[in-house]
Amino acid sequence: MMNNENAKGTILLVEDEFNIAKLFSYNLTKAGFKVEVGTNGQEGFVLAQKIMPDIIISDVMMPVMDGYEFRRNLLKDPELRAIPFVFLTAKGEEDDVLQGYDLEIEDYIIKTASPKIVIAKVSAILKSLERERVKVVDEVQKAADSMGAKVVPDEVPPFSDFSVRHWHQPYKNVPGGDFIDYVKVDEDQMVIVFGDVMGKRWGAWYFAVAYAGYVRSATRFVLESSSTELQPSEIIKKVNDSVYKDERISEVFVTLTIVVLDRKKKVAKYAGAGDLPLIFKRKEVKTVHSKGLLLGFSNNEEYENIEMPLESGDEIFLFTDGITESRNPEGELYGESRLLEFIKNIPEDKDSLELIRNEIYTFSNNEVEDDISVISIKYL
């Protein structure tokens, strides 16, 4: 994530010695970086979650939480572990250096190094990562072109009595971890598939394609084997069983939402696996949440069906965390409650997707940090 205000990026500096923090902050700011400072690992972790910096520079020996523990905590978070990390230390002993590299750090900077050396190291790391990002982006786009694969369709198949639309904005315009699919079963039933592969950033597209394939296969399997009406929980259970047995993707974190629209019964049936709640709007708004676990955690997981009877004008919204975790320039999260309030105040005759898109872009100053996907289902 490159900060709009600052072309060179944002640095999180975690250092308990005031004079050293001031010196490094001054020189890095002068060189064109935006610098945020924490005084120990605990503060640093909170700041890292808040600002999602481009690089973290941390002292090793600090009170409350030292640099090693700070780094170990970052490694437990799928998003934070991807941020390049540099240790700042007064020590140069081999054991300290080796311990740091065991924690997947990029480099060490000695506190006595000249400002030019520090700036050169930080710039080199960020430039290297940007080159790597560009290479991966190019490979992903070439793979997508050669496979003719899409994780989000261009259009929604027409379905009587319903208006179903989506807005999808991939992170930095690269095919990402969100996937959407629509399966029109017959004139009376349509299946909506909505998933999010988390914590893989540039590699998420490959996993999204795999999961989209699993869901399509499971949907068709349930269609062929079911003698009664289609149930979303059966589809998720079939996908979960397949994922649990597949070691290649069983440890990838994925949320999944399945909605079955039934125009004859005037109902939307929903089941979810670790997903965010649906938003249901009928004059007032409310959330509808499944208790299903993320895919692949257990082969005995049971998923529940939730039925939502529909009346004319009802609208259901599905969204990934790219919406709720959008941040404004001050680092404030958009959040679920703000989204609920915004949707509540959308007039019935207005284009809800267009208004949500404008709202998120305005809030984030057009700087989104993740894939953004929203599906609107309106019963006419």
Which residues make Cβ contacts (< 8 Å) with residue 255, sequence separation at least 6?
Answer: 195, 196, 198, 272, 273, 274, 275, 276, 294, 295, 320
Share of the chain above pLDDT 90, in %: 44
In which residue ranges of the chain is CATH 3.40.50.2300 found? 10-142
Q: 16 by DSSP, 3-state: which?
A: coil
Query: Which CATH code fits 10-142?
Result: 3.40.50.2300
For 348-359, the pLDDT digits (tens) are 899 999 999 999
- Among 3.10.580.10, 3.40.640.10, 3.60.40.10, 1.10.10.60, name the CATH number for the domain at 150-379: 3.60.40.10
In which residue ranges of the chain is CATH 3.60.40.10 found? 150-379
Share of the chain above pLDDT 70, in %: 84
Instruction: For the sheet with 372-379, list strands across it.
Output: 162-169, 372-379, 315-319, 278-282, 284-288
Q: How confident is the model at residue 245 (pLDDT cuts 50, 70, 90)?
A: confident
DSSP letters along 304-369, please? --EEEE--TT-EEEEE-HHHHT-B-TT--B--HHHHHHHHHTS-TTS-HHHHHHHHHHHHHTT---
Q: Using an 8 Å Cβ cutoff, are 379 and 310 in contact?
A: yes
pLDDT at 68 over 80: yes
H/E run at residue 241:
helix 232-245
For 182-215, the pLDDT digits (tens) are 989 889 999 999 988 865 454 566 667 777 777 7
Which residues make Cβ contacts (< 8 Å) with residue 96, sequence separation at least 6?
Answer: 60, 89
